[in-house]
Amino acid sequence: MREDLDRNKDFILSEEMLIIKHSGEIPEVAYHGSLYYLTADQEGPQLSLDHNDLAQLKKMVVERYCEIIRRDLTPENRDKTIYRGLARCVANWHRLVKFGQKEKIDLETIRQDTAGRLRAFLEQEVNEVQKGTRGSSINCSKKTLADFAEELGLDSCL
């Protein structure tokens, strides 16, 4: 009986993790919706979530934020409808940092990865604009971009 409950709980959690992983621009909203559904909703499974369960759900929030940040730091996406630009990238970075601080999640590896992606993005952007092969796709102010670069540890790149 206990084994069936654990299997069912694992399945339900995996479904909620998928919902968070494929949520929209603010995965934290999906996370809180999942928590409510899983634990408090009268029509939900009313599970008791342990530290590991919560960690898995939080991991999906972080993964989703990383996915949308990477999307907007990928030069090949600049002309696609999925692209939201550096302004949205910065906003999502701030949301991720706030979530990480609140949930005590170490984001150092993600910060380093994001810094490298921003540097590569800017190098390609500058190169293409200088060559005249495209106009600038940067949709935020110089100050916003400089502050973002500094937060990521790239203050000398601008």
Instruction: Walk along the chain (158 residues) and give the pLDDT tens digit of each residue.
Output: 445 545 799 999 999 999 999 998 899 999 999 999 999 999 999 999 999 999 999 999 999 999 999 999 999 999 999 999 999 999 999 999 999 999 999 999 999 999 999 999 999 999 999 999 999 999 999 999 999 999 999 975 55
The three-class DSSP label of residue 17 is helix
Q: Which segments of 56-148 are extended strands (E)? A: none
At 25 the pLDDT is 87
At 13 the pLDDT is 95
Nearest to 28 by CA among 63, 69, 73: 63
Q: What letters, b where the CB count within 10 A reaches 16 and e where it falls short, cover 16-45?
A: bbebbeebeebbbebbeebbebbeeeeeee
Question: What domain range includes position 108?
Answer: 2-157
Structure tokens at 132: 């005249």
At 113 the pLDDT is 98
Own/partner pairs, 7-12, CB within 8 angstroms, 24+ separation:
8/45, 9/45, 9/47, 9/53, 12/38, 12/45, 12/47
Q: Count CB neighbours of 132 within 10 A.
A: 7
Structural domain total, the chain: 1
